[in-house]
Amino acid sequence: MLPVWNRNPAFTITRASHVVLTARDLDASAHFYTDVIGLVLTERDENTLYFRGLEEAAHHSLVIKRTTGDAQAERIGLRVQDASDIDKAAEYLNSRGIVTTEPDVPFQGRTLHFTDPVGNLMELCSSMDVVDRRMQEFHTFRSGQPQRIDHYQLVTHDVQTATDFYSDLGFRLAEYTATDGTEELWGSWLEVKGNTHDIVFTNGTGPRLHHFAYTVPDASCLIHAADVAGSLGFGDEIDRGPGRHGLSNALFLYLRDPDGHRVELFNTHYQFIDLETDPIRWDTSDPRRAQQWGMPASERWWFEASEFPGQPVQKPLLEASPITLESYLSVH
């Protein structure tokens, strides 16, 4: 069932902001994200790395913390308009029975933590320290030349519940996948900043972070990133692509970092600003939704993702067997 879009939410979310991961080897993570992906390392201490894209003035869009255990996705970050929205968010979430905490987070203004109804660990951030943009320091550009963080994709056992919750927070449905002939949601692409998505929910064992994504200037940057990955010994960590999605119409390249976290580089979306525009519907039987051309995604792309600490995963309410590269090759 399609969600009801709340145009006047209790507080104002402005965009996807940052992601917090854990990793076992910070040196390996620093090498991967600066040399293979091309991010800027804003700051580093003994236990934490802070990265940003070339055109980002916010202190960080990716935080990686040292762990001695399993590497996981610690938090998914969203920006709110200002500090007053933290109070409004706490009041709204508490009224829904959702527990909130307000930790002190380095380089961030007021920040609110909560767990959403499908188990994702979320973080609302009101502001960040401002640093210099690097978008015109062309002599420093590396690999895919990532510009800014754009979105996340989260695997959830209950797409409908997740979609309804974030729609009430002001997210607008831009595209979606549904069972042929029905509006039974298998995936939802939700936005607040005017392109096709800030946050995506897809059906599967969750809660887990499937990937986070950075924009790149053009298609040649994707090819160069793939070449750099290969030359630095990360060719096997190209998880999918290059290719073109039907959903969002973007060219893409997915890579896995040394701890298995998945990052996407892509050449941005179309605009989704005009309010009279209806969301685009895709049947689950249409393979073009995932990829307009090229081979299907591998089993690891479909089924592997980063878990959240302390959050048990649940089997999906809807069962499906996607077309994988392995199943495709077995019959062709």
CATH number, position 218: 3.10.180.10
Runs of H (alpha helix) within 32-99? 84-95
Which residue range(s) make up the domain with 103?
Answer: 13-129
pLDDT per residue over 160-203, tens digit each? 999 999 999 999 999 999 988 888 999 999 999 999 999 999 99
| 21-36: average pLDDT | 98
Is 138 a member of any domain?
no
Q: Are residues 110 and 159 in the same domain?
A: no
pLDDT for 227 equals 98
Position 285 scores a pLDDT of: 82
329 occurs within a structural domain = no
109 plus 175 within the same structural domain: no
pLDDT tens per residue across span 255-287 = 999 999 999 999 988 999 999 999 999 998 887
User: What are the φ/ψ torsions at residue 58 (nearest 5 degrees)?
Assistant: -70, 145
Taking the C-alpha atoms of residue 298 and residue 323, their distance in angstroms, rounded to an integer, is 9
Residue 154, pLDDT above cutoff 70? yes
Q: How far apart are CA 283 and CA 267, in angstroms?
A: 24
pTM: 0.96
Comparing CA positions, the residue from 313, 285, 73 lying closest to residue 179 is 285
- Order of strands, sheet of 100-101, starting from the edge strand that comes earlier in the sequence: 40-44, 48-52, 62-66, 13-23, 73-80, 121-125, 111-115, 100-101
Are residues 305 and 183 part of one domain? yes
**Where does a domain end: 129, 158, 185?**
129
- DSSP secondary structure letter of residue 37: I
Q: Is residue 212 part of a domain?
A: yes
β strands within the chain, DSSP E: 13-23, 40-44, 48-52, 62-66, 73-80, 100-101, 111-115, 121-125, 149-156, 172-178, 185-191, 199-203, 208-215, 238-244, 251-256, 262-266, 280-283, 306-307
Task: Output the pLDDT for position 296.
Answer: 83
Q: Who wins on pLDDT, 287 or 78?
A: 78
Q: pLDDT > 70: what percent of the chain?
A: 99
Whole-number pLDDT of residue 237 = 96
Cβ(66)–Cβ(27) below 8 Å:
no
Q: Are 96 and 166 in contact (CB under 8 A)?
A: no
**Is 1 among the domain residues?**
no
Q: Assign 330 a pLDDT band (cuts: 50, 70, 90).
A: confident
Are 321 and 203 contacting, i.e. CB atoms less than 8 angstroms apart? no
Cα angle value 6/8/208 (rounded, 5°): 50
State whether 63 and 200 are in the same domain.
Answer: no
Terminal C-alpha separation, the chain: 36
Read off the pLDDT band of 332 (50, 70, 90).
Answer: low
302/167 same-domain check: yes
Count of the separate structural domains present in the chain: 2
Q: What is the three-class DSSP state of 85?
A: helix
Instruction: Decide if 194 contacts 275 (C-beta within 8 A).
Output: no
Local confidence band at 320 (pLDDT 50, 70, 90 cut-offs): confident
48 has pLDDT over 70: yes
Q: Is residue 332 part of a domain?
A: no
64 and 122, same domain (yes or no): yes
pLDDT at 158 over 70: yes
pLDDT digit string, tens, across residues 131-145: 999 999 999 999 999
